[in-house]
Amino acid sequence: MEPLVILTGPTGVGKTELSISLAKAIGGEIISADSMQVYRGMDVGTAKILPGEMQGVVHYGIDLIEPTDPWDVTRFVEMAQEAIRKIRANDHIPIVVGGTGFYIQALLKGLSYEEEPEDTAYRDELAGIDKETLHARLAEVDPESAAAIPAGNKKRVIRALEYHHFHGRPISELNKQQRETASPYNFAYFVLTLERSALYERINRRVDAMIEGGLAEEVQGLVSGGMPEQCPAMLAIGYRQMLPYLHGECTLAEAGEQIKLETRHFAKRQMTWFRREADAILLPKDNADTEELLSEMLRVLREKEIITGV
């Protein structure tokens, strides 16, 4: 089986710094599993790694498409599989880094959506319903998915409702089956963690840095450039909360506080997802520095025979 390293964890926990150290230690190349960093021009609000921060490590999955272009789990898996082929051809180790757990699961265990009727009428009906009503409807038929999917992610809410409508069972059951499916990779699934209050403080500081770094100007530039405000990419955390400020409906400080709140909620949902992963290897960051974390990762990778002699 081909080797594969996963490094994930909640937003703001510090995956990027550790991933660079790991890649340099094992001869790795990085595949981004961040559903937002594929978009060009959305840099500040996604905390996108800059070329100067990559330290010569090759990265895939960043700045691939325009914000108005479609992107989903199927396209991610296709991109990641092609990247893995290139990385292995270079005799390097692929390292998947990012916090989109659904993408990582699909890459590891495969996409197993059951065939659905060629009928868009139900989807069109759902598209005309407001997001709060849709989320409440999902909570009735699939509480587990409703807890994992925010109301603002209308696309995934509709997908879950469609699945239940056509198959008569929750999509959370399908996700559970996927977790139990064998993977074609010899992989290590690392989850970087941090005590909640410390994580939330890091998130708050990062949002402050984003605002100081020009988040409002970035969002204004996207809108002025013709990006629709209801575009799926614009509904991401950090972007949709900035729109009321641009419309004069709140202050910049109020927009920042809302981004912090939504980001903290998102981080909590991410950890709920990762804790359900049977293969997850937790890496507590609380009292460990980068060298200690790296040493533990290398030990596990040697044990799994993903690397030798490092």
- Residue-wise pLDDT for 36-65, tens only, equals 999 999 999 999 999 999 999 999 999 999
Of 174-178, 233-237, 258-262, which has the strongest mean pLDDT? 258-262
- CA atoms within a 13 Å half-sphere pointing along the CA-CB vector of 49: 27
Indicate the domain borders of the chain: 2-112+181-303, 121-175
pLDDT at position 107 is: 95
Q: Which CATH superfamily is domain 2-112+181-303 in?
A: P-loop containing nucleotide triphosphate hydrolases (3.40.50.300)
Token pair for residue 18? 């550790």
How far CA 150 is from CA of 4, 49, 157, 282, 307, in Å, comes to 29, 25, 8, 24, 38
Question: What are the residue ranges of helices labelled H in the chain?
Answer: 15-26, 73-89, 101-109, 121-127, 131-141, 143-148, 154-167, 171-179, 196-212, 215-224, 243-246, 252-275, 290-303
pLDDT at position 276 is: 87
31: left (phi over 0), alpha (psi -120 to 50) or beta: beta
Which of the residue ranges 120-129, 138-147, 227-236, 248-257 would you say has the lowest mean pLDDT? 120-129
Task: Check pLDDT > 90 for residue 173.
Answer: no
Instruction: From 301, 85, 87, select the one nearest 187 (Cα to Cα).
Output: 301
- Total number of residues shown for the chain: 310
Per residue in 57-113, pLDDT tens? 999 999 999 999 999 999 999 999 999 999 999 999 999 999 999 999 999 988 765
Which of the residue ranges 22-26, 115-119, 123-127, 277-281 would you say has the lowest mean pLDDT? 115-119
pLDDT at position 120 is: 73
Q: How does strand 93-97 pair with strand 185-193?
A: unpaired
Element (H, E) at 93: strand 93-97
pLDDT at position 119 is: 62
Q: What does pTM read for this prediction?
A: 0.81
Per residue in 116-159, pLDDT tens? 555 677 777 888 898 889 999 999 999 988 888 888 788 788 88
Instruction: From 15, 7, 31, select the one nearest 202 (Cα to Cα).
Output: 15
pLDDT averaged over every residue in the chain:
91
Task: Check pLDDT > 70 for residue 10.
Answer: yes
Q: What is the assigned CATH class of domain 121-175? A: mainly alpha
Instruction: Return the SS3 of 257.
Output: helix
Residue 260: which pLDDT band, with cuts at 50, 70 and 90? very high
Higher pLDDT, 278 or 67: 67
Instruction: From 11, 180, 191, select the one nearest 112 (Cα to Cα).
Output: 180
Residue 179: which pLDDT band, with cuts at 50, 70 and 90? low
pLDDT at position 116 is: 55
Task: Check pLDDT > 70 for residue 180.
Answer: no
Instruction: From 31, 37, 99, select the one nearest 65 (Cα to Cα).
Output: 37
**At 90, phi and psi to the nearest 5?**
-85, 0
Percent of the chain with pLDDT over 70: 95
Instruction: From 207, 218, 105, 119, select the one nearest 165 (Cα to Cα).
Output: 119
